[in-house]
């Protein structure tokens, strides 16, 4: 039996030692990682704040608990314990009892410290707060008080309340056990020392409750009671007086509780509790409810009018929609030849390719190998041959989960397959003869067909890089699929990312962190080898700065030959007074104050301060002076790819559904409430809410076209359009938003109405039915609305893909304008049907010349043939099939070329090249 006990003790000790060693190793390697990425000061600031906050909170709980337990034993020589609950028996005080009270005090202190540990940001924000310069309309307190100070005040009050309430419970229990509180006939007998102690604690708790009611008065700035969010008429004229009465009652209760110092009973404490409960129900609930139902509701608008005005004003400012310029838009069907000429860039950049559809196409024709994957396709713009062109871009990342099981060795996963390779870029408006996307960048290594190039295509940091790797080892890395003698060339990482493996202790630390013994024993590692961890870009930025909210759609860009990821970061709050919270994310204040750039090769993370007017980001800049850099320091090549984030745009669009109404009378009646429109996407009957979309359009009174994010609105319960919103994304006019309101006395078709017109068109319906009967799937892309002059042009691409191998091809372009529905084989074809053949556009109908890299295609074909033969000899049937499939694609591309010599040019005919040449 004794031997078994020792065995369990040893197992427990080993478990505790293992957990402690792993925790220490994780902490140590975290320090090394923050030092490597250059943000050690952020780590130490957060760590120091956590430790100090936890220490203060823990000491606070410990001291209160210990002091109260010491008060129970103060000057006590004997213990009076109960026998049978009512018969007191006196025994000598145990010698070490006073020391033993340290244990429960320490337990309570640890729990209090843990609770305070996570509140470090509340304390730092309070100590470094920045005023907003805007005051609430009733208490005249700066908004910064509600954002920074009030959460801290609540934290202190709640910790005091919990600590003293716990002390009251523990002390009362101790007095009961020691016989100072006992049941007597018809009453509860309480000794003097217990009565005095409990009376003081009760009085303190009543005082804290009075403080809590004062906090509740400030919290009325978030009251949902009225017709609009924030303090209402009843809150100001009934709830506040009720809270003030309760504050007074709490003070009286505190004084009555102190009567226990002189009286031989605690009955006044009980009376005070009962009286406070009754008063809180009567004054705090019944009275405001009575006023709401019998005074306000019969004439609600008259009473609530000024409060609605405050709600509208504060909500619009909190979500940044108060700066949106609202202008009328005629939505007239009067497009002229001059309009077409002036909007040539808009027509030339029609987005024929939906990003979701294009992902399937990229997967089939550009992943090349089973271990590559396109996680997402992003919309961006690039200057190509001097013109701003809308493009779609996707990163070819390495997905180790796609490796065959027999290839998932430790060396392959952590040393060899280390990075993805290159990006694929397609112009949004161009299509090949067979309905496939054209490419500005394609293949491995990246092969450009325009003046866009990538000289450092390796992607070590991305959206799918979720595992650690070790670089600069004795084992060369797999760079990209090659054949012949090139496949034998060793490849090693040349960047600066990673933590040196070093000696035994560091290896041991990494082994414990990753629970991977290979790091400790592998002979492929050298002291100069480096561990690269946290390679997922979202994990990377969230670990460095967890106090920001991040956009869920990072996007990759190429600048000066290198690849970078760009992520938008937001400062948010749920404590902005009078601001209606967003129903999806629950916040009521947001600013896109930070742009984050991550180097895809070496993992360098840079946080750029994009909104210097935001008080929250200025507060964070005080807390972390080494975190943010001015947006002016961002290279121009990256500034060219800044965009307005879609997540923020969605939040603002949802807010505008109600808060475009600035007249409180209109707001109250909800007579102009909007909805987000719906469209048919994918299958012929699948409806969804229209997603915002990026476009390149010509802007009136401006020489150059603009990259813009756009969406539209419809009236509640009606499908017709009522307005559309456009926000500029260019660096100079970033965030400049315009809300275009269409006439209310004219029917302007909304997206779903145009979708219905497309569906009921006989020619379109016949084509969809015919294709569907052949075992193919018809996919309807996003319905996009383009402003041209004072008119709107509706366009929707139609794709066709097989049921088995999904390679969507563009088959038709549907357009609607001026009551007419047309169906074209290209955007130019559809436009010609609407506006005539002789369109006054630049080089109309002329084929675009595309340089044909015939030698490159031939070399690629030969390499693929060699790979296929090598896979055949080794029995790799999957590799053989993939190589042959890619070879077939290359041969088809070669057969489509018309030149035949080096540098030959191939004509891409109208209807299958750009929307407008």
Q: What does the pLDDT look like over 137-151, one tens digit per residue?
A: 999 999 999 999 999
Among 403-412, 582-591, 609-618, 866-875, the least confident range: 866-875
Kindly indicate the confidence band of residue 105, based on its pLDDT and cuts at 50, 70 and 90: confident
Rounded Cα distance, 539 and 537, in Å: 5
Burial 314-350 (b: 16+ CB within 10 A, else e): bbbbbbbbeebeeeebebeeebeeebbeebbbbbbbb
Residue bearing the bigger pLDDT, 899 or 845:
899
Total Cβ atoms within 10 A of residue 425: 27
Query: Which tokens is 269 given?
Result: 């404490």
Instruction: State mean pLDDT over 202-231.
Output: 94
Kindly indicate the confidence band of residue 582, based on its pLDDT and cuts at 50, 70 and 90: very high
- Residue 470 β-bridge partners: 531
DSSP 8-class letter at 672? T
The alpha carbon of 704 is separated from its chain's Cα centroid by a whole number of angstroms, namely: 32
Kindly indicate the confidence band of residue 909, based on its pLDDT and cuts at 50, 70 and 90: very low
- pLDDT at residue 184 in the model: 67
Provide φ and ψ at 494, rounded to 5°.
-110, 0
- pLDDT at residue 865 in the model: 74
Among 255-269, 330-344, 426-440, the least confident range: 255-269
Whether residue 425 is predicted with pLDDT greater than 70 in this model: the reply is yes
Rounded Cα distance, 245 and 239, in Å: 10
Among 151-165, 331-345, 584-598, the least confident range: 331-345
Instruction: State mean pLDDT over 613-636.
Output: 96
Residue bearing the bigger pLDDT, 58 or 865:
58
Whether residue 534 is predicted with pLDDT greater than 80 in this model: the reply is yes
46: helix, coil or strand? helix
CA angle 189, 194, 195 (to 5 degrees): 70
Rounded Cα distance, 694 and 553, in Å: 13
The residues, ordered by sequence, that sit 6+ positions from 292 with a Cβ below 8 Å of its Cβ are 225, 234, 238
Instruction: State mean pLDDT over 870-899.
Output: 65
- pLDDT at residue 854 in the model: 58
357: helix, coil or strand? helix
Residue-averaged pLDDT of the chain: 87
Query: Which tokens is 595 given?
Result: 């742009």
Whether residue 309 is predicted with pLDDT greater than 60 in this model: the reply is yes
DSSP 8-class letter at 284? I
185: helix, coil or strand? coil
Rounded Cα distance, 917 and 444, in Å: 28
DSSP 8-class letter at 285? I
Q: What does the pLDDT look like over 630-664, one tens digit per residue?
A: 999 999 999 999 999 999 999 999 999 999 999 99
- pLDDT at residue 913 in the model: 35
Q: What does the pLDDT look like over 696-728, one tens digit per residue?
A: 999 887 888 999 999 999 999 999 999 999 999
Among 327-336, 533-542, 886-895, the least confident range: 886-895
- Tell me how far CA of residue 848 lies from CA of 210, 340, 371, 914, in angstroms: 78, 20, 35, 8
- pLDDT at residue 74 in the model: 73
Q: Look-up: residue for tokens 């990072």? A: 554
- pLDDT at residue 876 in the model: 63
Q: Rounded to the nearest 10 degrees, what angle do helices 102-117 and 150-178 cross at?
A: 160
Q: Look-up: residue for tokens 């809410």? A: 689
Rounded Cα distance, 223 and 232, in Å: 7
Query: Which tokens is 32 given?
Result: 């090394």
Among 324-338, 592-606, 875-889, the least confident range: 875-889
Q: What does the pLDDT look like over 812-831, one tens digit per residue?
A: 999 999 999 999 988 888 99
Kindly indicate the confidence band of residue 858, based on its pLDDT and cuts at 50, 70 and 90: low
Whether residue 445 has a cis bond before it, omega within 30° of 0 = yes
Instruction: State mean pLDDT over 761-784.
Output: 85
Long-range contacts of 59-64 (CB under 8 A, 24+ apart): 59/109, 60/112, 60/116, 60/159, 60/163, 61/108, 61/109, 61/111, 61/112, 61/113, 61/159, 61/163, 61/166, 62/105, 62/106, 62/108, 62/109, 62/112, 64/163, 64/164, 64/167
147: helix, coil or strand? helix
Among 82-86, 349-353, 799-803, 886-890, the least confident range: 82-86
Whether residue 484 is predicted with pLDDT greater than 60 in this model: the reply is no
Q: What does the pLDDT look like over 487-504, one tens digit per residue?
A: 556 789 999 999 999 999
Query: Which tokens is 68 given?
Result: 């109260």
First to last CA, the chain: 89
Return the half-sphere exposure (C-beta side, CA atoms, 13 A cut-off) of residue 856: 14
Instruction: State mean pLDDT over 351-355.
Output: 93
Kindly indicate the confidence band of residue 845, based on its pLDDT and cuts at 50, 70 and 90: very low
Instruction: State mean pLDDT over 782-805.
Output: 90
Instruction: State mean pLDDT over 204-230.
Output: 94
Q: What does the pLDDT look like over 77-100, one tens digit per residue?
A: 566 655 554 555 566 666 666 677
Instruction: State mean pLDDT over 876-891.
Output: 68
- pLDDT at residue 889 in the model: 66
- pLDDT at residue 283 in the model: 83
- pLDDT at residue 899 in the model: 44
The residues, ordered by sequence, that sit 6+ positions from 421 with a Cβ below 8 Å of its Cβ are 372, 396, 398, 444, 445, 457, 458, 459, 479, 480
């Amino acid at each position: 039996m004794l031997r078994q006990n020792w065995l369990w003790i040893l197992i427990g000790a080993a478990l505790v030692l293992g957990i402690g060693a792993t925790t220490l190793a994780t902490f140590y390697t975290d320090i090394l990682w923050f030092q490597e990425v250059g943000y050690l000061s952020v780590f130490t600031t957060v760590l120091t704040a956590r430790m100090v906050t936890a220490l203060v909170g823990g000491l606070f709980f410990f001291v209160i608990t210990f002091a109260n337990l010491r008060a129970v034993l103060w000057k006590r020589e004997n213990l009076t314990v109960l026998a049978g609950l009512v018969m007191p028996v006196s025994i000598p005080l145990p010698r070490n009892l006073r020391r033993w009270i340290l244990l429960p005090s320490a337990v309570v202190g640890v729990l209090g410290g843990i609770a305070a540990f996570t509140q470090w940001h509340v304390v730092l924000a309070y100590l470094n707060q920045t005023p907003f310069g805007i005051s609430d309309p009733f208490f005249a307190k700066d908004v910064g008080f509600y954002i920074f100070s009030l959460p801290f005040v609540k934290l202190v009050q709640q910790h005091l309340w919990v600590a003293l309430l716990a002390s009251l419970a523990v002390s009362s229990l101790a007095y009961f056990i020691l016989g100072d509180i006992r049941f007597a006939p018809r009453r509860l007998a309480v000794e003097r020392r217990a009565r005095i102690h409990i009376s003081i604690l009760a009085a303190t708790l009543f005082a804290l409750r009075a403080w809590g009611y004062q906090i509740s008065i400030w919290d009325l700035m978030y009251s949902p009671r009225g017709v609009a969010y924030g303090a209402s008429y009843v809150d100001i004229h009934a709830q506040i007086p009720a809270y003030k009465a309760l504050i007074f009652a709490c003070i009286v209760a505190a004084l009555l509780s102190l009567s226990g110092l002189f009286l031989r009973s605690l009955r006044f404490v009980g009376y005070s509790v009962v009286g406070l409960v009754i008063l809180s129900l009567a004054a705090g609930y019944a009275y405001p409810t009575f006023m709401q139902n019998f005074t306000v509701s019969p004439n609600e608008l008259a009473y609530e009018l000024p409060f609605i005005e405050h709600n509208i004003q504060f909500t619009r400012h909190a979500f940044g929609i108060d700066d949106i310029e609202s202008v009328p838009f005629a939505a007239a069907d009067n497009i002229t030849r001059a309009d077409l000429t002036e909007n040539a860039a808009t027509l030339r950049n029609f987005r024929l390719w939906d990003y979701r559809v294009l992902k399937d196409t990229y997967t089939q024709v550009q992943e090349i190998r089973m271990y590559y994957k396109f996680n997402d396709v992003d919309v961006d713009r690039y200057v190509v041959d001097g013109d701003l062109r809308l493009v779609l871009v996707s990163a070819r990342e390495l997905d180790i989960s796609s490796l065959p099981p027999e290839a998932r060795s430790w060396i392959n996963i952590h040393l060899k397959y280390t990075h993805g390779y290159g990006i694929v870029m397609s112009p949004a408006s161009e299509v090949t003869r067979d309905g496939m996307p054209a490419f500005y960048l394609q293949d491995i290594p990246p092969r450009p067909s325009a003046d866009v190039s990538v000289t450092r295509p390796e992607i070590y940091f991305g959206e799918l890089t979720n595992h650690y790797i070790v670089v600069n080892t004795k084992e060369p890395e797999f760079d990209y699929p090659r054949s012949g003698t090139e496949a034998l060339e060793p490849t090693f990482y040349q960047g600066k990312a990673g933590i040196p493996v070093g000696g035994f202790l560091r290896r041991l630390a990494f082994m414990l962190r990753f629970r991977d013994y290979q790091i400790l024993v592998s002979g492929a590692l050298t002291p100069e080898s480096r561990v690269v961890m946290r390679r997922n870009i979202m994990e990377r930025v969230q670990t460095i700065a967890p106090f920001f909210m991040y956009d869920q759609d990072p996007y990759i860009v190429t600048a000066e030959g290198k690849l970078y990821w760009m992520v938008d970061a937001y400062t948010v709050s749920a404590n902005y007074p009078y601001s209606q919270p967003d129903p999806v994310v629950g916040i009521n204040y947001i600013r896109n104050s930070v742009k984050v750039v991550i180097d895809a090769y070496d993992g360098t993370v840079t946080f750029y301060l994009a909104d210097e007017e935001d008080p929250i980001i200025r507060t964070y800049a005080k807390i972390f002076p080494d975190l943010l850099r001015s947006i002016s320091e961002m290279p121009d090549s990256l500034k060219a790819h800044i965009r307005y984030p879609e997540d923020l745009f969605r939040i603002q669009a949802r807010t505008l559904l109600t808060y475009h109404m600035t007249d409180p009378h209109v707001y109250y009646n909800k007579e102009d409430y909007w909805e987000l429109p719906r469209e048919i996407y994918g299958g012929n009957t699948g409806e969804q809410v229209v997603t915002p979309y990026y476009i390149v359009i010509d802007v009136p009174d401006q020489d150059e076209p603009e990259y813009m994010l756009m969406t539209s609105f419809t009236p509640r319960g009606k499908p017709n359009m009522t307005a559309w919103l456009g926000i500029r994304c260019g660096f100079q006019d970033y965030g400049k938003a315009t809300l275009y309101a269409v006439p209310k006395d004219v029917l302007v078709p909304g997206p779903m109405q145009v979708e219905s017109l497309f569906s009921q068109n006989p020619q379109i319906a016949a084509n969809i039915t015919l294709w569907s009967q052949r075992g193919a799937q018809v996919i309807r892309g996003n319905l996009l609305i383009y402003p041209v002059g004072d008119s709107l042009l509706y366009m929707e691409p139609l794709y066709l893909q097989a049921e088995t191998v999904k390679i969507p091809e563009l088959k038709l372009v549907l357009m609607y304008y001026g009551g007419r529905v047309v169906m074209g084989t290209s955007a130019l074809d559809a436009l010609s049907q609407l506006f005539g053949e002789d369109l006054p556009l630049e080089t109309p109908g002329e084929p675009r010349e595309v340089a044909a890299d015939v030698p490159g295609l031939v070399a690629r074909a030969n390499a693929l043939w060699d790979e296929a033969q090598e896979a055949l000899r080794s029995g790799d049937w999957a590799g053989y099939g993939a190589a042959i499939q890619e070879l077939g694609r290359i041969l088809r591309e070669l057969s489509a070329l018309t030149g035949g010599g080096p540098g030959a040019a191939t004509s891409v005919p109208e209807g299958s090249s750009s929307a407008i040449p």
